[in-house]
Amino acid sequence: MGSRFPGGKVVRRLSIALSALAFHAALQSMFLVSGAAPVRAESRLDRVQRTGVLRVCIWPDYYAISFRNPYSGELQGLDVDMARAFAQDLGVRVSFVESGFSSLTADLLGDRCDIGMFGIGITAARAEKIAFSQPYLSSGIYAVSSQTHPRILRWDDLDQDGMVVVVQKGTVMDDYASRTLRKASVRIVSGPQEREEEVQSGRADAFLTDYPYGQRMLSVHQWAHLITPETPVQTTPYAYGVAPGDPVWLDRVNRFVDAVKRDGRLETAAARFRLTPIVARD
């Protein structure tokens, strides 16, 4: 009859501990080179400087922010100027990538661009998926209806029985309308200029937008009536967006935002595109 080894439990515990140490050592070996300090994973900043290209996601139909001039075909807007300024500060060239509010997260996480620069409203839902810079603009929500609409004269006329209010998918207005409009029907569209087409055709009564796009409507369409709420509605800070998990890159973006606020470049661009009222100066 054999005897039990009295130290069996101790041996098993020691074996588990040694295995854990070996696993920890293996992990360390992944980050150490010849006993040197841990190797930092390549930041997007490193890659931008290595490739010499800053890829900037924009929405090319965002008046005064990032829009394509219908006559010249050139990109214009505050954030087009800011993107070029950022590239210049980094010593690289800028490459614009067409995106939009509903596709930006996928574009950033899918590595289609290095940064989103087109007045991206900071929301809790977006902050769960992408990282934001410090704000540089701030806008509330406005509505656009027809000058001849018989029932819409002020903000409170929107959320009434029978009204159809249009919002663009993935925007701050989409979230706001879904949460707050109780009587009006909310119609969500995704294509460029679909909102105004719905209103102009009479299929909808109004659409929700922000300050920059509201100004576009006034400058381009004689039929447009901009409805400003008596008190600001859901004022949202606008920032630049990057993929999460890269503090080095986010810090560089924040330093750029801080610099253009201090040296006047942001104010100059805002004045050029009549956006001075929504500049974030904090």
Residues 108 and 90 in one domain: yes
User: Does the pLDDT value for residue 11 go beyond 50?
Assistant: no
Name residue, tokens 């588990």. Answer: 16
Residues 49 and 86 in one domain: yes
User: Does the pLDDT value for residue 13 go beyond 60?
Assistant: no
The answer to whether position 134 is within a domain reads yes
pTM of the model: 0.78
Over residues 180-190, the pLDDT tens digits come to: 999 999 999 98
> Residue range 78-107: average pLDDT?
98
Distance separating alpha carbons of residues 110 and 103, to the nearest angstrom = 10
pLDDT band at 70; cut points 50, 70, 90: confident
Give the domain-ending residue among 186, 206, 227.
227
Give the domain-ending residue among 206, 227, 248.
227
User: Does the pLDDT value for residue 191 go beyond 90?
Assistant: no
**Mean pLDDT for all residues in the chain:** 88
The answer to whether position 10 is within a domain reads no
- The more confidently predicted of residues 70 and 146 is 146
User: Does the pLDDT value for residue 12 go beyond 90?
Assistant: no
Q: What is the CATH number of the domain that holds 56?
A: 3.40.190.10
Strands 53-58 and 164-168: unpaired
pLDDT band at 130; cut points 50, 70, 90: very high
The answer to whether position 29 is within a domain reads no
Residues 219 and 110 in one domain: no
Q: Is the dihedral of CA 210, 215, 218, 221 positive or negative?
A: negative
Residues 161 and 211 in one domain: yes
Residues 105 and 149 in one domain: no
Residues 172 and 183 in one domain: yes
pLDDT band at 30; cut points 50, 70, 90: very low
* 265-272 helix and 78-90 helix, angle to the nearest 10 degrees: 150
Residues 195 and 59 in one domain: no
The answer to whether position 20 is within a domain reads no
List of long-range contacts for 216-219, beta carbons under 8 Å, 24+ apart: 216/63, 216/64, 216/67, 217/144, 219/63
Structural domain range at position 110: 44-139+236-278
Residues 220 and 251 in one domain: no
User: Does the pLDDT value for residue 201 go beyond 80?
Assistant: yes
User: Does the pLDDT value for residue 273 go beyond 80?
Assistant: yes
pLDDT band at 38; cut points 50, 70, 90: low
Alpha-helical regions (H) of 124-210? 124-127, 172-180, 194-201
Residues 219 and 171 in one domain: yes
The answer to whether position 28 is within a domain reads no
User: What backbone torsions phi and psi does residue 119 show, to the nearest 5 degrees?
Assistant: 55, 60
> Residue range 172-177: average pLDDT?
94
| Residue of 271, 261, 217, 268 lying closest to 239 (CA atoms) | 261
Six-digit token string for 63: 């008046």
> Residue range 15-32: average pLDDT?
40
Residues 243 and 110 in one domain: yes
pLDDT band at 282; cut points 50, 70, 90: confident
Q: Which helix (H) or strand (E) holds 131?
A: strand 131-132
221 CB-near residues (< 8 Å, 6+ apart): 196, 200
The answer to whether position 270 is within a domain reads yes
Residues 64 and 199 in one domain: no
Residues of 201-224 as b/e, b for ≥16 C-beta within 10 angstroms?
A: eeebbbbbbbbbbbbbbeeeeeeb
Over residues 100-111, the pLDDT tens digits come to: 998 999 999 999
Give the domain-ending residue among 227, 254, 270.
227
Residues 49 and 181 in one domain: no
Over residues 223-260, the pLDDT tens digits come to: 999 999 999 999 999 999 999 999 999 999 999 999 99
Spatial contact of 254 and 134, defined as CB atoms under 8 Å apart: yes
Q: How many domains does the chain have?
A: 2
The answer to whether position 21 is within a domain reads no
pLDDT band at 41; cut points 50, 70, 90: confident
The answer to whether position 81 is within a domain reads yes
Spatial contact of 108 and 116, defined as CB atoms under 8 Å apart: yes
The 10 Å Cβ neighbour count of residue 149 is 17
